[in-house]
Amino acid sequence: MRYPVSIAKRFAVTVTLMSALLLTGVYAAADDAAEKGRGIVERWQSTIVTVRLVTEHRTVVQGRQMPKRESKGEVTGTIIDPSGLVVVSYFSTDPSSLYSAIAGGDSDDFRTDTETTDVKIRFPDGEELPAKVVLRDKDLDLAFVRPVEKPAKPLPAIDLSAKATPKVLDEIVVLNRLGRVASWATAVYLDRIHAIAEKPRTFYVPGGMGALESELGCPAFTLDGKVVGILVLKVLPSRDAGTGTMFGMSDAGMLPVILPSDDILDIVKQVPETAE
């Protein structure tokens, strides 16, 4: 059936206007999220620090002690207390423990051990403070770092008690600190909650996390500035994991997740008050 030219033109104009209105709404929502994200960066970027680590690795293969190896690295951490207490990813501070976990743990044929010999917290203004790792929790992929000497004044810290409980597809903002190559600039990612797991404990799965190593230890916020939690790596023992990475990291028993603030607050109670 052919419509008169005038009706066809009116239909085309209507469709064009509707499309324009829909696109305007999409752009407006994106601009709103970007504006709120910039506000979160402005408020919390000083709480994102770099933790410099010197580690010594010892490996025993079939009873034979391999030569010791020393390595230096930088990981992202988040200040969670004005005293300077910083939370980081346990696995990012000790990659050998990740390999051991994937392999099913140490055995008589293969054992590995890592000792942290030097720790420094680098703040956004370039100041560095000697520090120590004061508590580790491998199951939750958390490690806590505290300055050796108490800072001269309280430091900016995120408020884990002002927590958020996002729903699937809610937007989140993840803050990160880049390395030397980018002059330790603050980076921000807009993402969404991809999934929520509730057993054996609740955690949130972000949808677009790509640069895994650089984002562990970073905080995630809802658009209203409340803390969702800290990005960590959930690792299954090799016996419970898949056989490869054909279907992604989760098939290999590894998944970057956001550990809720409540779980972090629970373990903070066990953290020593000093770095002695």
| pLDDT band at 7; cut points 50, 70, 90 | low
| Prediction pTM value | 0.82
Residues in contact with 145: Cβ distance below 8 Å, sequence separation at least 6, in sequence order = 51, 77, 85, 86, 87, 88, 119, 121, 131, 132, 133, 134
Q: What is the pLDDT of residue 16?
A: 57
Q: What is the mean pLDDT of the chain?
A: 83
Q: What is the pLDDT of residue 220?
A: 96
Does residue 54 surpass a pLDDT of 70? Answer: yes
Predicted confidence (pLDDT) per residue in 14-47, tens digit: 555 555 444 444 445 558 999 999 999 999 999 9
Predicted confidence (pLDDT) per residue in 116-164, tens digit: 999 999 999 999 999 999 999 999 999 999 999 999 999 999 999 988 9
Instruction: Enumerate domains of the chain plus CATH numbers.
Output: 44-268 (2.40.10.120)
Q: What is the pLDDT of residue 226?
A: 95
Q: What is the pLDDT of residue 207?
A: 82
CA distance 80 to 159: 7
User: Cis omega (within 30 of 0) on the bond before 156?
Assistant: no
The answer to whether 265 and 122 have CB atoms below 8 angstroms apart is no
